[in-house]
Amino acid sequence: MAHRGMVSGYPENTLAAYRRSITLGYPALEIDLRATSDGHIVVMHDDTVDRTTSGSGEVGRMTLAEIQSLDAGSYVHPKFADQRIPTYQDVLETVHGTGTKLVLDIKPCEALDRERVVRSTEQHGAALDVIVGLRSLADLREFKGLNPNLRALGLVPGPESGPSDPELIMEFARAGADMIRLWPRWIFADRQEQHGKSPLISRLHDLGKPVWCTADTLYQDISPEHPREDLTELVRLGVNGIITDVPELLTEILKRDDDHAGDRA
């Protein structure tokens, strides 16, 4: 899955990046939802617009008109100067009919209207194509109450460098998260060298819970120097879904594995 729609040479969380990811055939896009001061749902990872736009300021203190007046692409290349911060509705319309799933990272934001997120999803007929990423048990229960058909990804909180909190992980599983996100370092620390397995992954699989990872080189979730090795190991250990800023590399690894499996058959 393309983290923030990131593909090489494209500005994150823009319609240009999403369209490119769809063209390349990535099965899902991860996007980040926040609210503007006038209640609109926009897609922006940071709590400010400073890093990825021509402006500055907190997303939650800006109106939609102010947000969408900004250039959200030139920081990557001048050819993307026409890119604006999209609304959630823009993204739903962009992926409609493509078969591409959306993974929503619900950012901690009091102004974000959770019910509006769900109703917009339903209005676009996308309830089965959207996975909601949630950082708290309260959010998990709220979204499940708003629409039980929405699949939920438990973004289990905790330091990326570890150690993990196994009991909190299981709380998310018991509370109804359909998938569980673990950090790569939690998995690598849990790995049993002798058996080549991760007991934590095995336990979640026994509960019927797929395991996902966020595995970026940008934030060193995986090694920027050796990303191929880390991604290959996550796949080998049984991780079911990987959200990454190097989706091209992951696609290459998975294709190689498929080709080798075909050779063995």
pLDDT at position 42: 98
In CATH terms, the fold of domain 2-264 is TIM Barrel (3.20.20)
pTM exceeds 0.75 for this model: yes
Residue 161 has pLDDT above 80, yes or no: yes
- CA distances to 86, 96, 106, 151, 218 from 123, rounded to whole Å, are 18, 12, 19, 17, 35
Per-residue pLDDT, 192 = 85
Report the pLDDT averaged over residues 163-178.
Answer: 95
State residue 63 phi and psi, 5-degree precision.
Answer: -80, 165
Crossing angle (nearest 10°) for helices 166-174 and 137-146: 10
Q: Could you tell me the pLDDT band of residue 163, with boundaries at 50, 70 and 90?
A: confident
Q: Over the chain, what HEC string results?
A: CEECCCCCCCCCCCHHHHHHHHHCCCCEEEEEEEECCCCCEEECCCCECCCCCCCCCEHHHCCHHHHHCCCCCCCCCHHHCCCCCCEHHHHHHHHCCCCCEEEEEECCCCCCCHHHHHHHHHHCCCCCCEEEEECCHHHHHHHHHHCCCCEEEEECCCCCCCCCCHHHHHHHHHCCCCEEEECHHHHHHHCECCCCECHHHHHHHHCCCCEEEECCCCCCCCCCCCHHHHHHHHHHCCCCEEEECCHHHHHHHHHHHHHHHHHHC
Mean pLDDT across 173-193: 94
Q: Say whether pLDDT at 256 is over 90.
A: no
